[in-house]
Structure 1
Amino acid sequence: MLTESQQQIIQTIVDGKKHLPGGLLPMLHDIQDALGHIPAPALGLIAQELNLSRAEVHGVVTFYHFFRHEPAGKQVVQICRAEACQSMGADKLWEHACSRLNTQGGTTADGAVTLEPVYCLGLCSSSPAMVVDEQLHARVDTVKFDRLVAATGSVA
């Protein structure tokens, strides 16, 4: 169920984008930027306003990996899992991150960090790569990972 505040935010965004050709994706991005995720109850409202089925909107939200269904943690850490990064140690980095954050991906129990796999950050020649709160980092090893995550205070 949406709060009144969430519903107002979503309605304002929908009203501002529903007349644009192909407005669904910009609408979804704006909703996620405003709320931190795309709440499931929002799908019906969006579908109705765009004259689409809820299934069509759900299909778009679930097709694109960057749309979240739940709020992210205070810090978002994304580790590239594509082939170039894998060949340079991303699997070891992922395992270390999971161990360090006590999660297999997703948001930690305390809500401090969301760990997500991504598939190519465009830093193939400087792999493995990761993003911490929308800031790219190249040639990340376990020591650099610990330093970057600890710098935010999310992990001791």
Structure 2
Amino acid sequence: MSLTAEQQARIAALVSDHQTQPGGLLPLLHAVQDELGHVPDAATPDIARAFRLSRAEVRGVLSFYHDFRDEPPARHELRLCRAEACQSMGSEALAQRLRARTGLDDAGRSADGGLELRPVYCLGACACAPALLLDGELHARIDAAMLDALLAGCLEEGGAC
């Protein structure tokens, strides 16, 4: 997918702001995602050129960090913690319930773009396991009933979680 002229101009301005900053690649990638909602693959060549990196190196950074996405976000994003503390408190059963209720894989996205499931391997809420993030909001000590209640708004047409 190609970039619009407006997107190209905005990315160029962000590159200009970050390219001379030591370690500026990560702040730039975050700025692009904050601005556009994702880091378009079409932006990779310009970013690579500005930082004197290969496209593969930039893509490697993007794929290493789970927070970066290469397509616009879904209306709702649910990140279920799959780390050991949450697993020991039932996150695997919650993951199975999510798959059954949504018909999505652990890292799936609904066809209508309404819901995206993304596993995460620690939310820093180990003492309150199991935990999940829904649209950036932490929910802790989740059980099946709480998960169902959180999903109800997401699965309704135009619902808000």
Using the size of structure 1 for normalisation, the TM-score is 0.93
Q: What residue in structure 2 maps to residue 33 of structure 1?
A: 34
Q: What residue in structure 1 maps to residue 145 of structure 2?
A: 143
Name the SS of the counterpart of 1:56 in structure 2: helix
Shift of 1:106: 2.3
Shift of 1:95: 1.3
Separation of aligned partners in 2, 1:55 and 1:142: 41
Separation of aligned partners in 1, 2:37 and 2:150: 22
Q: Percent identity?
A: 48
Q: What residue in structure 2 maps to residue 15 of structure 1?
A: 16
Shift of 1:5: 2.1
Separation of aligned partners in 2, 1:141 and 1:121: 17
What does 1:121-132 align with in structure 2 at a 5 Å threshold?
121-132=123-134
What does 1:65-76 align with in structure 2 at a 5 Å threshold?
65-76=66-77
Deviation digits for residues 7-47 of structure 1 (CA, Å, limit 9, x no counterpart): 12211211111111000000001111111211111111101
Separation of aligned partners in 2, 1:149 and 1:121: 19
- Paired amino acid for 1:17: H
Shift of 1:154: 2.4
Structure 2 runs not aligned, ≥5 long? 157-161
Q: What's the RMSD between the two structures over aligned residues? A: 1.2
- Paired amino acid for 1:84: A
Separation of aligned partners in 1, 2:151 and 2:37: 20
Aligned residues: 154
Name the SS of the counterpart of 1:77 in structure 2: strand
Separation of aligned partners in 2, 1:93 and 1:60: 30
Is 2:139 the partner of 1:114?
no
Q: What residue in structure 1 maps to residue 62 of structure 2?
A: 61
Using the size of structure 2 for normalisation, the TM-score is 0.90
Shift of 1:149: 2.8
Structure 1 runs not aligned, ≥5 long? none
- Paired amino acid for 1:154: C
Shift of 1:75: 0.8
